[in-house]
Amino acid sequence: MEIEKPLLVVAIDFGTTYSSWACSMTHEYADNPTKIYVRQWIGGEHLSPKAPTSVLIRPDGTTLEAFGYEAEDRYARLVEEGQHKLWYYFKRFKMKLFDNLELSRHTMIEEITGKTLPAMKVFSRAIESMRNDFLSQFKSKLEGRIEDRDICWVLTVPAIWSESAKQFMRHAAITAGIKNEYLRIALEPEAAALLCNYLPLKMLTISGSQSTFQTFQKGCKYMVLDAGGGTVDITVHEIIGGGKLKEIHKATGGAWGGTAVDEAFRQFIIKLVGNPVFQKFTLEHTDDMLDMFRAFEVKKRDMQLMKESTVTLRIPVSLIRIFEKETGEVLHESIGQTEFSGKIKLLNDKLKVDATIIRDLFSKSVRSITDYVSALLKSKHLEGVKSIIMVGGFSECQMLQESIVSSLPEISTIIPHDASLAVLKGAVIYGHSQDAIVQRVCRYTYGIAGAKPFIQGVHKEEYREETDVGPLCDNMFIKIVEAGESVKLYERREGKCFKLNMEDQDFYSFPIYASSQASPTYVTDEGCRKLGCGAIVNLDKAVPLKDRKVEVSIIFGGTEMEVEAKEAHTGQTSKVVVDFLL
């Protein structure tokens, strides 16, 4: 399962809002697991450990022009020059994979002006850019003596993502030039938890009931709250010693991340100037628009919203001028006629806003996260959880931190320094120690479609099939593992033994299903959905048909589902190709 002794591990944290890569050498990891190099990006006048997840593709719809801050700045120049209409500019597109039941290799996504390209192409270009960026920096340091087998690549995904979304990201990485056998998928909150296990107390900020937190010792149970730009991922772990963890509650969460606050801020500006003015500003002064949102990104993490009475925001002069030209009004006078009258003052390019208005921008996301966490901790089987580790970029938001601490005073709230980098650095550690999570909890009930002897009065008549062995009921859900059930790392669960029915049959395919129900009867029951299709190839045809049976097993406990098939008459086992992107 693990790559044997790679020279180094490179992790790519592909985020909704920001992305980056980090790495560490295997020999350095052995001495100090937290010695990790993180890429520094240039954004305007600042250095940043992450770059915007923005992709600019040339008018041919294929060639990558730029990624990150460079993509933002290059597109802004194209807009100013009136040359942008044929180009493809994508930003914050990761959420297109979240909860997308129709996801396939051919899924299309829209760029900023409404043109579309295959999502696979856009994702792969972003990954390819970060892969090439790493190679260009480190090949010189390694004197060019580096081969594919020397690198273990790790790509992060939310723990609440579907199997199809994980497979989509794997295929995007392969398309980007990363070989399948050297690629691992890491679940974001798990990666962050691995990092925190190695951090000294001086690298952690602890609030709330500090007396309940000692150190990350054996038996310690804690929740990981990974609040990113798009999704909020929640997992619960128990430390079992030796640097190992086990999951004690299935991954859960929702789309309550920081981008919801950004959208609320955008709507706030639109209320001030009107949508036509804002759209004109966005198209004609894209660089100023980007600067405004970059400044707000910094503000939303640092603002002491529960303490301040007013918050000062800088409004681009170009936006003020467009408003006055298009409306014939003066903006600071016009504000007095809006719902914000008496709560906002505009002085030159400084907007002084009553803090209650800014708090409202955060309130929906913060309340959703806090209420969900509070309800989850009331679960009986989580009684021993006394600590919450907050990671991810949105966890650096003071208002979210204060809301969690005040709502759960009996819980220790632990925030690592540079919480936004916890997933990225933890993914590097995961690449070195892929067996650190020894047990996980199934999010769904998994099974395959099959047939059972038909029972009159019990089974649906519409699914009855007459066969040589008697009447059978088709479309039965053959359960392999149940939602909420714990499975060990790479635990094999036997599924169903299929009997082949054709002499020359050397191929067999079967669907795999997931259900939110504990024990569905049929694959057509409410809550059931087809995950994908498994294919067994090159079956042995040298024995009589009556002896030809294939037993299918699903391997759980890893970050991705695996399926194996064993031919009954030979005992030969082979990995099954499963396509979750139908």
- DSSP symbols for 294-327: HHHHHHHHH--TTT-SEEEEE--HHHHHHHHHHH
Residue 278 to residues 183, 268, 283: CA-CA distances in angstroms?
A: 43, 11, 9
184 and 281 together in one domain: no
Residue 348 to residues 328, 332, 352: CA-CA distances in angstroms?
A: 17, 9, 11
152 and 30 together in one domain: yes
Q: Are 437 and 418 in contact (CB under 8 A)?
A: no
Please report which confidence band the pLDDT of residue 326 belongs to, taking 50, 70 and 90 as the band edges. very high
Two tokens at 422? Answer: 């916890």
- In this structure, what DSSP letter does residue 197 have? H
Q: In this predicted structure, what is the pLDDT of residue 5? A: 78
108 and 38 together in one domain: yes
Q: How many independent structural domains does the chain possess?
A: 3
Q: What is the pLDDT of residues 4-51, one digit of tens each?
A: 678 899 999 999 999 999 999 999 999 999 999 999 998 777 789 999
Q: Residue 383 carries which side chain, given as an amino acid letter?
A: E
318 and 332 together in one domain: yes
- Lowest mean pLDDT of 26-35, 282-291, 311-320, 405-414, name the range: 282-291
13 and 93 together in one domain: yes
Q: In this predicted structure, what is the pLDDT of residue 463? A: 95
Q: Are 527 and 521 in contact (CB under 8 A)?
A: no
115 and 143 together in one domain: yes
155 and 268 together in one domain: no
Two tokens at 169? Answer: 């990201």
Cα–Cα dist 169/427, whole Å: 15
3-state SS assignment for residue 222: strand
460-468 mean pLDDT:
89
Q: Write down which residue in 436, 462, 488 finishes a domain.
A: 436
**Continuous segment of H or E residues that includes residue 356:** helix 355-377
User: 415 lies in a domain?
Assistant: no
18 and 149 together in one domain: yes
Q: What is the pLDDT of residues 131-178, one digit of tens each?
A: 999 998 887 666 667 788 899 999 999 999 999 999 999 999 999 999
Please report which confidence band the pLDDT of residue 1 belongs to, taking 50, 70 and 90 as the band edges. very low
Cα–Cα dist 31/488, whole Å: 28
Residue 27 to residues 9, 12, 422, 490, 500: CA-CA distances in angstroms?
A: 11, 20, 21, 27, 51
Residue-number span of the structural domain to which 469 is assigned: 442-579
User: 155 lies in a domain?
Assistant: yes
Please report which confidence band the pLDDT of residue 192 belongs to, taking 50, 70 and 90 as the band edges. very high
Q: Are 129 and 137 in contact (CB under 8 A)?
A: no
What CATH code is carried by the domain that includes residue 12?
Answer: 3.30.420.40
User: 381 lies in a domain?
Assistant: no
User: 382 lies in a domain?
Assistant: no
115-121 mean pLDDT:
97
Two tokens at 29? Answer: 């990891």
- In this structure, what DSSP letter does residue 500 have? P
113 and 141 together in one domain: yes
Q: Residue 107 carries which side chain, given as an amino acid letter?
A: T
336 and 318 together in one domain: yes
Please report which confidence band the pLDDT of residue 455 belongs to, taking 50, 70 and 90 as the band edges. very high
Q: Are 494 and 551 in contact (CB under 8 A)?
A: yes
Two tokens at 191? Answer: 């990666």
Taking the model in full, what pTM does it have?
Answer: 0.89
475 and 429 together in one domain: no
User: 368 lies in a domain?
Assistant: no
Examine the pLDDT at 468 and tell me if it is beyond 80.
no
Q: In this predicted structure, what is the pLDDT of residue 310? A: 86
Examine the pLDDT at 547 and tell me if it is beyond 70.
no
460 and 524 together in one domain: yes
Q: In this predicted structure, what is the pLDDT of residue 582? A: 67
User: 378 lies in a domain?
Assistant: no
Cα–Cα–Cα angle for 180, 183, 185, rounded to 5 degrees: 120
Q: In this predicted structure, what is the pLDDT of residue 573? A: 81
Residue 339 to residues 303, 329, 345, 478: CA-CA distances in angstroms?
A: 23, 17, 13, 58
Q: In this predicted structure, what is the pLDDT of residue 2? A: 52
Please report which confidence band the pLDDT of residue 250 belongs to, taking 50, 70 and 90 as the band edges. very high
